Amino acid sequence: MPRQNRWRRPISQRPPWPAVVIAAVGIAFFALAFMGLLWKVPWASAWHVLSAAGSRKALRLSLVCSVWATVLAMFFGVPIAWLLARLDFPGRGIARALCTLSMVLPPVVAGIALFYALGRRGILGQYLDRWFGITLPFTTAGVVVAQTFVAMPFLILTVEAAFRQQDLQYEDAARTLGASRWYLFRRVTLPAIRPGLIAGGVLAWARALGEFGATITFAGNFPGRTQTMPLAIYLAAETNPEEALVLSLVLVAVSFGVLVALRDRYLQSRSTPAL
């Protein structure tokens, strides 16, 4: 069967050159953008900018808020993903669209929507204010809410795919061994979806770290309280371009570092036993 053999041949033998050329141009496009940044960074004044209290606050706020947003996205997103993947309920398609809508919307729209939902006069916000004295807009908590809102869909989609790919026979095996639902989820399901969970977490975190539109609309731009890195960079770009460049470089470095560090972990999955 020579025909079958031809298809079975490893593709690494002869990389198709059009794909290689197009991919190389694409990679160059990414690299070029960051080279532009590196090229313009005022290295001499970099340390001065970084040691300024304002930029350190912005960086810390960004990290703290994005980590919280990731934790919240996981807390709510994993059960949502499980429901979407495993339960066949009426309106599942609508539920999925709703849960991923904020990923597609312009972030400013997300911010406005949040404002009229959770703001002082919002449908839920007015009661939060009246009954509990909680106000979310223009607070650090508001930043976390805005970031969670736009970042969670990335986690939901990735984890839902992981749930769908999971071999349910292992759950059967666990049940015959006496595992309760929670024990089974913790010991069998979670390890199986771990790569998807990490990938989804990283995507959500990255989205939260870079979040701008929803944050500035819903939480405003108060240094030390709601001014995250993207906001500080945007502001600096108008008044002090050098500072904007240095802060951008920091954001790029942090993000790149995390992506590289996690790359091996989240792309590799533990293989199923070879039988």
Partner 1 sequence: MSLDARVVCSRGSLEVDVALAAEPGEVIAILGPNGAGKSTILRCLAGLLPLEDGHVQLDNVDLDRPTADVFVRPEHRSIGFVFQNYLLFPSMTALENVAFGLRARGMSARQARSQAAAWIERVGLTDHAAHLPSALSGGQAQRIALARAMATEPRLLLLDEPLAALDAGTRSEVRRELQHHLRTFHGVRILVTHDPLDAYALADRVVVLQAGKVVQQGTLTDVTARPKSRYVADLVGVNLVKGTASFGVLTTPSGATVQTSDDVNGAAFALIQPRSIALYRSPPDGSPRNVWATTVTDIDPRSHRVRLDGPIPLIAEVTVAALDALALQAGDQLWASVKASEITIYPA
Residues that bind partner 1 (CB under 8 A): 169-170, 172-180, 183-184, 187-188, 191-192, 194, 270-275
Nearest-approach distance from CB 70 to partner 1, in angstroms: 23
Residue 59 or 199: the one with the smaller Cβ distance to partner 1 is: 199
Phi, psi of 137 (to 5 degrees): -60, 145
Nearest-approach distance from CB 194 to partner 1, in angstroms: 8
**Residue 99 CB-density burial (10 A; 0-12 exposed, 13-18 middle, 19+ buried):** buried
For residues 48 and 238, give the distance between their C-alpha atoms in angstroms, rounded to a whole number.
Answer: 19
Q: Is 138 helix (H, G, I), strand (E, B) or coil?
A: coil
Nearest-approach distance from CB 180 to partner 1, in angstroms: 6
Nearest-approach distance from CB 275 to partner 1, in angstroms: 5
Nearest-approach distance from CB 175 to partner 1, in angstroms: 4
Residue 151 or 174: the one with the smaller Cβ distance to partner 1 is: 174
**Tell me, what DSSP letter sits at residue 189?**
I
Residue 239 or 271: the one with the smaller Cβ distance to partner 1 is: 271
For residues 181 and 5, give the distance between their C-alpha atoms in angstroms, rounded to a whole number.
Answer: 46
- On the CB side of 243, CA atoms within 13 Å amount to 22
Nearest-approach distance from CB 223 to partner 1, in angstroms: 46
- Torsion over CA: 74, 97, 230, 34 (sign): positive
Residue 10 or 178: the one with the smaller Cβ distance to partner 1 is: 178
Dihedral angle of Cα 206, 212, 215, 221, to the nearest 10 degrees: 130
Residues 6+ apart with CB under 8 A from 269: 194, 195
Residue 129: name the closest of 113, 144, 142, 148 by CA: 142
Residue 138 or 170: the one with the smaller Cβ distance to partner 1 is: 170
Residue 48 or 172: the one with the smaller Cβ distance to partner 1 is: 172
Residue 18 or 178: the one with the smaller Cβ distance to partner 1 is: 178
- On the CB side of 21, CA atoms within 13 Å amount to 3
**Tell me, what DSSP letter sits at residue 139?**
S
Nearest-approach distance from CB 247 to partner 1, in angstroms: 41
What kind and span of H or E run contains 238?
Answer: helix 229-239
